[in-house]
Amino acid sequence: MKAQLLEYTLRLGDNALILGQRLGEWCGHGPILEQDIALSNIALDQLGQARMLMQYAAEQKGGDFTEDKVAFLRPETEYHNCLLVELENGDWGRTIVRQFLFDTYNYFFYSALLSSADNRLQEIAQKAIKEITYHAQWSAEWLIRLGDGTEESHQRVQRSLNDLWEWTGELFSMDAVDEALLAEGIAVNLAEIKVQWDQKVNEILSLATLKRPEDAWMQSGGKQGEHSEYLGYVLAVMQHLPRMYPEATW
């Protein structure tokens, strides 16, 4: 039970941490100043949520574990984020598609986590859901703008949507950790939020004049620590400083 709760906490924390790191790559490179700032703010929210979860994970690990050690000193196979968040940013359209698919999932996930039997996760959800609501609105609006925009923007986001679709299956696949914690009332029932996700995604795709890809082969493994080739590069950048200068403060 304890080991499962820790892994569950890390899954949520790593989703937020790795996505925050990916979005941070846009800082100074956004298409216009306002949207550069918007994405940096979303990255910052993700990082803040990651901190709350890493602090909780560090307390569960006990000993001299700190949030920083949990965040920065684990090897790749001990990260439990879903694969979608570690994928490359690509162009602005691809970043928006990834963000929309994830934000919509995250919105329903954290809405459900508000009634978790685990007090701490419930408290974190109360804090996070307010921010995630703004993220989900922002990325849906951008998807509509790009999908229903010019021929070029439409083609690009449709292509990204087709490419990214196979990475969405993992968001809803329950494994032993999910099942065990669901039985305790702690975890979110992913089958339930899949229905809500489908509905919202279909609604926004239709407004964006985009075609929903067919469900086919889906990637999986991130939650269990088996990652794509991209995570190593993300971690190399993210962990470089804390590994080179372990006790650095500023």
Partner 1 sequence: MTETIWNILKNVADPEIPVLTVVDMGVVREVEVEDQKIIVSITPTYSGCPAMNEIESNIRWALEEEGYNKVEIKTLISPPWTTDWMTDEGKAKLQEYGIAPPEGSSADKSVLFGEAKKVMCPRCKSRNTTMVSQFGSTACKALYKCEDCKEPFDYFKCL
Residue among 17, 19, 47, 121 that touches partner 1 (CB under 8 A)? 47
**What binding mask, one character per residue, do residues 142-161 give for partner 1 by CB under 8 A, x or -?**
--------------------
Interacting positions 98-117 with partner 1 (CB under 8 A): 107
- Residue 40 or residue 89: which is nearer to partner 1 going by CB? 40
**What binding mask, one character per residue, do residues 203-222 give for partner 1 by CB under 8 A, x or -?**
-x------------------
Q: Mapping DSSP to helix (H, G, I), strand (E, B) and coil, where does residue 221 land?
A: coil
- Residue 12 or residue 177: which is nearer to partner 1 going by CB? 12
Assigned token pair, 51:
């901190």
The Cα 67–Cα 58 span in angstroms is 6
CB of 46 to partner 1, least distance (A): 7
CB of 81 to partner 1, least distance (A): 17
If one asks whether residue 124 binds partner 1 (CB under 8 A), the answer comes out as: yes
If one asks whether residue 134 binds partner 1 (CB under 8 A), the answer comes out as: yes
Query: Which residue type, as a one-letter code, is found at position 194?
Result: K
CB neighbour class for 89 (10 Å; exposed up to 12, middle 13-18, buried from 19): middle
The Cα 57–Cα 66 span in angstroms is 9
The Cα 81–Cα 18 span in angstroms is 7
CB of 123 to partner 1, least distance (A): 4
Residue among 48, 90, 213, 242 that touches partner 1 (CB under 8 A)? 48
Of 5-13, 94-102, 118-126, 176-184, which part binds partner 1 (CB under 8 A)? Answer: 118-126
The answer to whether the CB of 157 falls within 8 A of the CB of 96 is yes
If one asks whether residue 140 binds partner 1 (CB under 8 A), the answer comes out as: yes
Query: Which residue type, as a one-letter code, is found at position 156?
Result: R
- Residue 131 or residue 178: which is nearer to partner 1 going by CB? 131
Residue among 15, 21, 46, 81 that touches partner 1 (CB under 8 A)? 46
Assigned token pair, 210:
């985009």
- Maximum CA extent, the chain: 57
The answer to whether the CB of 207 falls within 8 A of the CB of 148 is yes
Other beta carbons within 10 Å of 88: 13
Interhelix angle 92-113/190-207, rounded to 10 degrees, is 140
Binding site for partner 1 (CB under 8 A): 34-35, 37-38, 41-42, 44-49, 51-52, 107, 123-124, 126-128, 130-131, 133-134, 136-138, 140-141, 204
